[in-house]
Amino acid sequence: MEEFKKNLIGLEFKDILRKGKWLLFDIGDYYLCSHLRMEGKYFIKKHDEVIDKHEHVIFSFEDGTDLRYHDTRKFGRMNLVLKDKLDTVEGVRKQGIEPTDSNLTKEYLYEKFHKKKLPMKTLLLDQTIISGLGNIYADEVLFGARIKPMRLGNTITLEECDKIVKSSREIIEEAIKCGGTTIRSYTSSLGVTGRFQQNLMVHKRENEECKICHSLIKKIVIGGRSTYYCEKCQL
DNA sequence: AGTGCGACCCGAACGC
DNA sequence: TGCGTTCGGGTCGCAC
């Protein structure tokens, strides 16, 4: 921690990049790799403003402003690495292809899925295959692609991979437009709300009617994660 | 290698 | 001002 502080004093934040779910702050010879997990968020505040009990890391700048990292559950992670050592941050290095990237093709997904004996829900959460989908969007993508979450990778056809490409792109783009999804965050008073929850077709909708076929949405656990799907719409 | 699962964290939601 | 328990999100590390 002391080392972390000492290394940053006097350095300039030059840029902010993103790789999958990681934020990379370009600072001098370093990248500060920051993963927000569930509820991590950054705020700009004046240096003299009262420090909230969930503001765990504060960067103070010469102009009297702070960049403050706020994380209710202390679940996020930060990792300061020299730029040429970025490869040593496993999570950052092993990112797969993003839904918005034209390199995400049905052939690529078929190659990744067709020998796997893991459920599709688990495979969509694997950041080394598709980068950026979390528990909510994985459920939504599978609904959009009309694939049951427990189907194993080795049962998925090329055609279904095409549906996943399209569904993931559509859902991620729409979610970004909406400012994300607010489900468990209680910090909306701070201005961080997502509107995508209005678009959710299955996630967190156990025993509610499917918006397409009106049968009841089911909830199960796959790979230790809550998973929602429509028995009738998804094959 | 591939797969499965507990640990991490703590406020909210839930059950009584 | 009720209190104890469970849940959940993404990732890693360990066991098989």
Domains of chain A as residue ranges with CATH:
2-93 (3.20.190.10), 106-230 (1.10.8.50)
Taking the CA of residue A84 and the C1' sugar atom of nucleotide B7, their distance in angstroms comes to 31
How many angstroms separate the CA atoms of A94 and A111, rounded? 17
In this structure, of A122-136, A170-184, A186-200, the range with the lowest mean pLDDT score is A186-200
What pLDDT, on the 0 to 100 scale, is given for residue A235? 96
| Nucleotides of strand B under 7 angstroms from a protein beta carbon | 2-13
pLDDT tens-digit map of A7-16: 899 999 999 9
Taking the CA of residue A129 and the C1' sugar atom of nucleotide C12, their distance in angstroms comes to 17
Tell me the whole-structure pTM to 2 decimals.
0.93
Task: Give the closest residue to B3 (Cα–C1′).
Answer: A118
What pLDDT, on the 0 to 100 scale, is given for residue A193? 66
Mean pLDDT, residues A10-24 = 95
Residue A188 has pLDDT above 80, yes or no: no
Residue A139 has pLDDT above 90, yes or no: yes
The CA distances from residue A146 to A17, A46, A156, in Å, are 33, 48, 11
How many angstroms separate the CA atoms of A17 and A179, rounded? 18
**Average pLDDT of chain A?**
91
A75 touches strand B (CB under 7 A): yes
How many angstroms separate the CA atoms of A196 and A209, rounded? 18
Mean pLDDT, residues A98-118 = 96
What pLDDT, on the 0 to 100 scale, is given for residue A184? 59
Confidence band of A197 (pLDDT split at 50, 70, 90): confident
Taking the CA of residue A215 and the C1' sugar atom of nucleotide C16, their distance in angstroms comes to 40
